[in-house]
Amino acid sequence: MILLLANLVESLSKVVGVLSLSPVEVVLRVVLALIGATLLYLGYKNVLEPLIMVPLGIGMVVANLSFVVGVGNPHVNVDPSSFQYNLIYWLQPFYSLMFSNGLIACLVFFGIGSITDITFLMARPFTSFILAAFAELGTVLTLPLAVAAGFEPRHAAAIALIGGADGPIVLYSSLKLAKEYFIAINVVGYLYLSLLYIFQKKLDELTIPRRLMATYMDPRELPKISPKEKLLFSVVVSALLSLLFPHASPLILSFFAGVIVKEAAISRYVKMLDEVVLSVSTFLLALVLGTLTTADVLVNPAVGLILLLGITALFLSSIGGSIGGLIVYYLSKGRINPLLGPAAVSCVPTTAKISHKLAMEVNPKNYLITFAMGPNVAGVITTAIIASVYLALFAP
């Protein structure tokens, strides 16, 4: 009878592959599937970013429960070295051809560039860039912290870039600096970026006095910036940044190509980049990342440390932004709203929207979004600069 049962389980495990795994791994897979379902639900409820969390969540649920004996994860293999994998795993072509070379991050950047307004960045370049530099505090300070925690410098650099709060840059850099941890770093990074809506608002309220948040900024005071100026700026700055920081040139090119297409008013391209390229690449990014987030890949003592260091990086960057905002407020003799500081944490456009909402809550006349987009976009550029420096110094 026992022999019959054992044979039955053995035969069944060939069909239901999870049964062939150790009990510990089965439990871990069920836990990760439940976490995936929770992320999916929170995305559906708009608590977390639905564009990322819904495909990522369903990817996690399905990938953790589907295990094929002899094949493993039937969706994608984390090792892109063999061409044969492209003929076995259905999502492998996306991973091999879009993730391992960073293309997916560049596609997202095309789309972000095509929907980004650089008016305030050009109208107030000094304010925007100084605030953006302040808001990189976490990206810089987390590097020695992660090394002190035991990570190699290149891994530490990839983790520290979570502080830049820019998903595509975290993805691009971790693929080049920390392939071993890229899944953990990106799942943690995107999770925290989705949570920014909740914790950044609280942090802003704690660090910036409410009476200063009420500082009124009149949009009519902004100088008019013509599309021609924006176009020329995009060409000159992308060329200059690519010259100085060639490691980040793919990101710089894709972002500014999007901006240039928008300012040149090529509506067909703008529509293509925004509605097709950005949507398809974000969906695939989240789905592939979700299917890669399985127990065998993710269960690693380092993941706990990455969770801790990731939140530290974002926390420090937000604090740096607030410090910058307060300094600029006092230097401008109270003319610049300090909420522009935390808006420089470059999660486009989330942090700018948070600052805008807070300013409106305190003073309903204060329409801050136009101003907040300046440091927000400058933050993308400063994060790309730091990524380039880290890639130059630490990439293997």
Which residues here bind other proteins, judged by CB under 8 A? 121-122, 125-126, 128-130, 132-133, 136-137, 140-141, 143-144, 147, 153, 156, 225-226, 228-229, 232-233, 236-237, 240-241, 244, 378, 381-382, 385-386, 389, 393
Q: What is the DSSP string of 125-187?
A: HHHHHHHHHHTTHHHHHHHHHHHHTT--HHHHHHHHGGGGT-HHHHHHHHHHH-GGGHHHHHH
72 DSSP 8-state letter = B
Minimum distance between the CB of residue 128 and other proteins, rounded to whole angstroms? 8
Tokens of 349: 């456009």
Minimum distance between the CB of residue 338 and other proteins, rounded to whole angstroms? 18
Minimum distance between the CB of residue 368 and other proteins, rounded to whole angstroms? 21
Nearer to other proteins, 156 or 284 (CB): 156
Minimum distance between the CB of residue 341 and other proteins, rounded to whole angstroms? 14
Tokens of 290: 């979700």
The Cα 250–Cα 242 span in angstroms is 8
Nearer to other proteins, 49 or 117 (CB): 117
The Cα 367–Cα 221 span in angstroms is 13
Cβ density class 69-99: b for 16+ within 10 Å, e for less: eeebbbbbbbebeeeebbeebebbebbbebb
Supply angle C-alpha 275, 189, 83, rounded to 5.
70
Q: How many helices (H) and strands (E) does the chain have?
A: 21, 0
**Separation in Å, CA 34 to CA 27, 52, 62, 72, 277:** 11, 17, 10, 20, 30
Nearer to other proteins, 147 or 297 (CB): 147
Strand (E) or helix (H) holding 338:
none
Minimum distance between the CB of residue 139 and other proteins, rounded to whole angstroms? 9
Minimum distance between the CB of residue 228 and other proteins, rounded to whole angstroms? 6
Nearer to other proteins, 132 or 359 (CB): 132
Minimum distance between the CB of residue 143 and other proteins, rounded to whole angstroms? 5
Nearer to other proteins, 18 or 147 (CB): 147
Nearer to other proteins, 75 or 124 (CB): 124
Minimum distance between the CB of residue 392 and other proteins, rounded to whole angstroms? 11
**Separation in Å, CA 383 to CA 44, 161, 344, 379:** 30, 8, 10, 6
The Cα 312–Cα 360 span in angstroms is 28
Nearer to other proteins, 229 or 296 (CB): 229
Minimum distance between the CB of residue 118 and other proteins, rounded to whole angstroms? 9
Query: CB neighbours of 198 closer than 8 A, spacing ≥ 6?
Result: 47
Name the region of 253 (left: φ>0; alpha: ψ -120 to 50; beta: rest): alpha
Count CB neighbours of 322 within 10 A: 25
Nearer to other proteins, 16 or 236 (CB): 236
Nearer to other proteins, 75 or 176 (CB): 176
Contact 314, 345 (CB under 8 A): yes
